[in-house]
Structure 1
Amino acid sequence: MKQLNGTIGDILALLAGSSLPLSFAPYGLFPFAVLSPALLFYLWQNISPRRAFWRGFLYGVGLFGVGVSWVHISFYQFGGLPLLGAIFLTAAFVLWMALYPALLGGLLTRFFPNNTPTKLLLILPAAWTLIEWLRGWLFTGFPWLSLGYSQIDSPLNGFAPLLGVYGVSWITVFSAALLIYGFYLKKKLALPIFILIWGAGWLLNGVSWTTPVGKPLQIALVQGNMPQEFKWLSSYQLSTIERYLELSQVEADIIIWPESAVPLFLHDIRQYMPDFFKKLAKQRITYGSEFIIGIPVMTKNGAYFNSVVSIGTQPGSYNKHHLVPFGEYIPLQFLFGEFLKLLEVPMSDFSSGKAQQDNLYSAGQAIGVSICYEDAFGALIRNSLPGARLLVNVSNDAWFGDSIAPHQHLEIARMRALESGRYLLRATNTGISAVIDNKGKITSLAPQFEIMTLIASAQAYEGATPFVRFGNALVVGGLFVCLLLGGVRYQCHLR
């Protein structure tokens, strides 16, 4: 098909990337995660490295332009930027992210120009997944839209407790490469291998890697639904706290408030609401509850943290470690500091907590806590395991309004529960609050933009999945081995 060597092929690359977000929440059309990369792989055949770079770039523009364009909401609606400024920053972010698939296409075509089975089945899937892994930590990382997340409801989800999200990405990309292997190289073996892999994933989903311990707990997730534009105004601070106190008058073992539910520093509460802790103590006595609360904490030297505190028989605190660049802190302030003062983002110079912190304890259970964006980093969540019997994520997705971002974020949280074999309790300000079981399934859910307390049961689990034991090391090591073996076989094939 000579026409694919020109503009039509470029347009198809853009459309292929634009279709990939359909495989993620809220759409959940997981086959697109195989079909979309497969089309890109086909469009990379028999073209120059420059053209492959360009098509990879167009693919990335489609993927991130459709999949994460919601970042403009925080710039424009809540950051105080004019519409053109918000569009400019969003476009710059999308173009930067698009460089990852662009580099993949250019480098693959430059160093492996011939279309061999080794390139398709060993080199290409490994290189794609390594680029995803690189994107997940380089420049603080942006692991959003990694292919593995799209398979949370597909048969491939059985591989998640074994290999983590990047392992699922690898198998998904390998499946896409198999399609090209069968279609482009006319290999009949592709179909049975495809069926074998997806069947193995389905069977693995029935394996229980962790074991329940104790009786189920009664959990209350408090969703205050405070509008983001009002939340930090002094005239709304006390009424916000009163709302959460009122919504917490329920019988539950653990009551969880979302990220920065209390819009005051911990040390200021006694001044502005002297009876706050007395009210909590009364509710603890009346309902037998313990609390996990999102609240900022300031130290004596003026540093402040985005924190979670546990209030009960074993009080403790957790300080957010992985901060959101340009939202919670400003990297390279000497370059961006003055410009980013235009963004009217409250509390935007947090300090980072330690990577290794003690688990919190509530209702006698060890709790692994993450705050908002941190649940996108499986290696960070793994720090609390296998000691933690429950996982808690508190978040505030109000920054992204009524977009697809909260749905994507919930999907990411589901992957963390599946990888770890633990229930994950997700409390958010405006939704989507949810209880997720150890298989990554949602057992209870609070609709967005509703004031409510979600009451549900959750089971504590102990033990370690293979991913908890080995983390990403197993997969990343395997990817490098595939690249090495693939490179050697490729050179031998040329001779």
Structure 2
Amino acid sequence: MFEKFVPVDVRLAPNGNFLSIPYNFLNALSGTKALIACLVLGALSNLSFAPLNFWPMMMISLVSFVWLLDGATRQPNARSAAFWRTLAFAFGQFGVGFHWVAFAFLVDPKAHAALVWLSLLLPLGLAFIWAVIVRVAFNFWCPGPARVMLFAFTIFAAEWTRGHLFGGFPWNIPAMVWAPGGAVSQTASLFGVWGLSVITIVLFCAPAALCDGRTQVGTKMGGVGRAMPAIIAALLFGAAWGWGSHRIADAEDGALGPMVRLVDVGVPQSEKFKPEVRQLVLRRYLQLTEPDTGKNPRIVIWPEGALPYALLQYPDALDPVSENLGARRLIVGTSFVNRQFHPERWFNALAVLSQESMVAEAVYYKHRLVPFGEMVPFRKIAARLGIGALQQIAEAGFYAGPKPAPVSVEGVPDFQPLICYEALFPGLLPKRDQEKDLSGVAKDMSFERADWIVNISIDAWFGPLWAPAQHFEHAKYRAIEEGLPMARVASRGVSGLVDGYGRVTALATSPDFDKYPEDPKGWKARILDAHIPTALLPTLYSRYRELFLIFMLSILLVGWISLPRN
């Protein structure tokens, strides 16, 4: 069905095409110049992500990259040229986009600064995934418009692979160019961010078909064939934007849920575990939480790893925390150590505390762990080499818990916990199934459906640039996909409440220092009292997950088969 790739002499684009000048320029590049162009374009594509969300830059980058791959067919070893050009483009994108990984090595510079060079291995490894997959797909490259559908399918395959392989790293996948809460982002409620990524890639690379190496005379479908991918992409985008706009316009403000208090003392991660600071962190959290007056919010949320010790197993901290709560409930991130194992096992956990509970009313153990940040691959071998996890409380790293499931405790609406990195993963929440009541009418199974999402995080690891804002954007997409409101508390990150459309309803701000003691130097406390937004009806994505994604990928393959190749 597919023809094998044969290197071709890509001719100049036809006269009169306004894109012929950049096409001819990029097509003619070779050697080092071509690699530099790919590297720069990959780096510039990051302007499309938060906080700028200048999405046209991703379109410019991908169109230019397609034309550079066209130019690779003119090289003596075309497949090798495609491999290295892809490696350069992807390394430019991931090297800039994942800059924040280097900051994690500098939180404890005495222990990890010498290993900061390892932060380059992540973008290089992900770029290698891209390069291998493009190298395989390049066997079917062709000069006609069909190559754009092939390119879209190939880039999606590369992105999906890096989002799932070895636990996955789906940071800044293509869908993330659309600010959550906007019109286009609403389509994530239909087919998730992976489905939105397919539409995004097709939209952004489609204009590349307007120029190719074929002559105008004798080409199949002529200019119509060249324009077909752009027409299809425009129709897809128009439908997505129109449907999303209509969804937001029809949104109604329902009855608000209980009020919550979000608290982050904003201690720098580099100071948190110093002996002279540990007790100050606890006192500061108690000050901002305040004793129970009966009028303050009944639910309090602290971030991931709020205190620099295993709270549930440290009575000197647990007792004052419980006493301060009164009749309220506290959702808090904490470490937990299970000493029944030898050697002992540490977990990154979320616990629900009350004054009445002896230890905790519920505990959730984080399921998705950050490689090298929280766990070390090949743990035993790494230990012999002296390589430990970057986090500061369990040097050998954390162990993973079971898959996330809703937490149900008295006094708190059922919620779905997500700790830090877990907010990057679509579909991690339990699927909303259906059952039939006595009348035969389908209804949602209540035990499969949480009322809201609680996302706690330590964004202090990400440095001072744009990574904390991007982490918040990822989390907001989980609210859109599930149709559930979200409360997010991130240490030195963005904390606030998000509705089921991905719109921010309230953001945590600096406390009133006339009421509370001022922050210690360098700290950035944030506090918020606000109502939880109402949950929406179950979304198609929450019920069917990736079913629509499979359908969309099938359409891409049909496009590759149907559009002119030569």
Q: Same fold (TM over 0.5)?
A: yes
Cα distance in structure 2, aligned partners of 1:199 and 1:486: 19
For residues 288-335 of structure 1, the C-alpha deviation after alignment (integer angstroms, 9 at most, x for no partner) is: x43211122233514332111123599322111111121212210233
Residue 166 (structure 1) aligned with residue 212 (structure 2): no
| Percent identity for Structure 1 against Structure 2 | 27
1:197 Cα offset (Å): 2.0
Higher mean C-alpha deviation, range 481-490 or range 372-381: 481-490
How far, CA to CA, are the matches of 1:356 and 1:77 in structure 2? 29
- 2:528 pairs, out of 441, 449, 454, with 454
CA-based RMSD of the aligned residues comes to 2.8
Q: In the alignment, which residue of structure 2 is the partner of 1:347?
A: 394
1:396 and 2:424 aligned? no
Q: Which residue of 2 aligns with 1:119?
A: 147
- Match for residue 108 of structure 1? 137
1:308 aligns with 2:350: yes
Distance 1:28 1:201 in 2: 18
1:91 partnered with 2:138: no
Contact 2:374–2:389 (CA under 8 A) maintained in structure 1: no
| Partner of residue 421 from structure 2, selected from 373, 377, 380 | 373
Per-residue deviation at 1:4? 2.4
Larger deviation, residues 97-106 vs 265-274: 265-274
User: Structure 1 residue 84: deviation in Å?
Assistant: 5.3
Q: Aligned letter for 1:49?
A: R
Give the TM-score normalised by the residue count of structure 1.
0.89
Q: Which residue of 1 aligns with 2:370?
A: 324
Residue 44, structure 1, aligned to residue 85, structure 2: no
| Equivalent residue number for residue 407 of structure 1 | 469
Instruction: Check conservation: 2:266, 2:525, Cα contact below 8 A.
Output: yes
Quote the offset at 1:57 in angstroms: 0.5
Corresponding residue of 1:296: 335
My pick for the range that moved more, 367-376 or 6-15, is 6-15
SS of the equivalent of 1:229 reads: coil
Letter in 1 for 2:110: G
> Is the CA contact (8 Å cut-off) linking 1:223 and 1:258 kept in structure 2?
yes
How far apart in 1 are the matches of 2:423 and 2:113?
Answer: 30
Partner of 1:334: 380
2:172 is equivalent to residue 145 of structure 1: yes
1:207 paired residue number:
247
Comparing 37-46 with 369-378, which one deviates more in the overlay? 37-46
Instruction: Pick closer, same or farther for the CA change 1:239–1:469 going to 2, 3 Å.
Output: same
Which residue is equivalent to 2:156? 129
Moved more, 272-281 or 323-332: 272-281
Over alpha carbons, which structure has the higher Rg?
2
- The worse-fitting range, judged by mean Cα deviation, of 409-418 and 436-445 is 436-445
In 2: Cα distance, 1:150 partner to 1:175 partner:
12
1:207 Cα offset (Å): 2.6
- Please say if residues 365 and 389 of structure 1, whose CA atoms lie closer than 8 Å, have aligned partners that are also in contact: yes
Distance apart, 1:100 and its partner CA: 2.5
CA distance in 2, matches of 1:395, 1:34: 32
Give the ranges of 4+ consecutive aligned residues of structure 1 lying more than 6 Å apart after TM superposition: 208-213
Secondary structure of 2:259's counterpart equals: strand
Residues 210, 464 of structure 1: 8 Å contact kept: no
C-alpha displacement at 1:493, in angstroms?
Answer: 6.0
1:84/1:352 CA distance change after superposition, 3 Å: closer
Give the counterpart letter for 1:128 in structure 2.
I
Matching residue of 2:52: 27
1:154-185 alpha-carbon deviations (Å, 9 max, x no partner): 64313211111111111011012321123448
**8 A contact 2:322–2:353 mirrored in 1:** no
Task: From the superposition, tell whether residues 174 and 204 of structure 1 become closer, same or farther in structure 2 (CA, over 3 Å).
Answer: same
| Greater alpha carbon shift after TM alignment, 139-148 vs 112-121 | 112-121
Compute the TM-score of the two structures, normalised by the length of structure 2: 0.78
- Give secondary structure in 1 for the equivalent of 2:270: helix
Does the CA-based 8 Å contact 1:258-1:396 persist in structure 2?
Answer: yes
Distance change in 2, residues 1:384/1:377 (3 Å): farther
What residue identity is the alignment partner of 1:404?
A: W
Give the distance between the partners of 1:248 and 1:330, measured in 2 at CA: 35
The range that moved more, 51-60 or 7-16, is 7-16
Structure 2 unaligned blocks of 5 or more: 1-23, 73-77, 213-221, 434-447, 511-522
Measured at CA, do residues 25 and 350 of structure 1 come closer, stay the same or move farther in structure 2, by a change above 3 Å? same
1:18 corresponds to 2:27: no
Q: How does 1:239-258 map to 2 (within 5 A)?
A: 239-249=280-290, 251-258=296-303
Could you tell me how far apart the structure 1 residues matched to 2:310 and 2:113 are?
Answer: 32
Return the letter of the residue paired with 1:260: G
Assess if the C-alpha contact under 8 Å between 1:49 and 1:106 holds in 2.
yes
Change (3 A) 1:342 1:132: closer
Query: In structure 2, what residue type is equivalent to 1:76?
Result: L
CA distance in 2, matches of 1:266, 1:425: 22
Structure 1 residues 372 and 135: alpha-carbon distance in aligned structure 2, compared to 1, 3 A threshold: same
Alpha-carbon distance, 1:114 to partner: 1.0
Q: Contact 1:431/1:446 (CA < 8 Å) preserved in 2? A: no
- Residues 400-437 of structure 1: per-residue CA shift (max 9 Å, x gap): 22122111101101111111112111101112112222
Q: Aligned with 2:261: secondary structure? A: strand
Change in Cα spacing, 1:470 to 1:290, as seen in structure 2 (3 Å) is same
- Is the 8 Å Cα contact of residues 321 and 352 (structure 1) preserved in structure 2? yes
- Counterpart of 1:430 (choices 471, 492, 496) is 492
Kindly tell me: are residues 326 and 219 of structure 1, through their superposed partners in 2, closer, same or farther at Cα, counting changes over 3 Å? same
CA distance in 1, matches of 2:537, 2:252: 6
- CA distance in 1 between counterparts of 2:470 and 2:319 reads 39
1:56 Cα deviation after fit: 0.6
Of 64, 81, 97, the residue aligned with 1:67 is 97
Count of residue pairs brought into register by the alignment: 483
Query: 1-side partners of 2:399 and 2:432: how far apart?
Result: 20
- Residue 237 of structure 1 deviates from its aligned partner by 2.6
Indicate the SS of the match to 1:221.
strand
Tell me the SS of whatever aligns to 2:351: strand
Q: How many Å separate the matches in 2 of 1:474 and 1:105? A: 24
- Going from structure 1 to structure 2, the CA distance change for 1:465 and 1:240 (only over 3 Å counts) comes to same
Tell me the residue number matched to 2:29. Answer: 4
Corresponding residue SS for 1:353: coil
Question: What secondary structure is seen at the aligned counterpart in 2 of 1:28?
Answer: coil
1:6 Cα offset (Å): 4.1
Contact 2:38 2:86 in 1 (8 A): yes
The answer as to whether partners of 1:360 and 1:369 remain within 8 angstroms in 2 is no
Q: 3-state SS of the aligned residue for 1:101?
A: helix
Q: 1:54 aligns with which of 84, 106, 117?
A: 84
Stretch of structure 1 that moved more, 447-456 or 52-61: 447-456
The one-letter code sitting in structure 2 at the alignment partner of 1:259 is E
- Displacement after TM superposition at 1:366 (Å): 1.1
Amino acid at match of 2:348: N
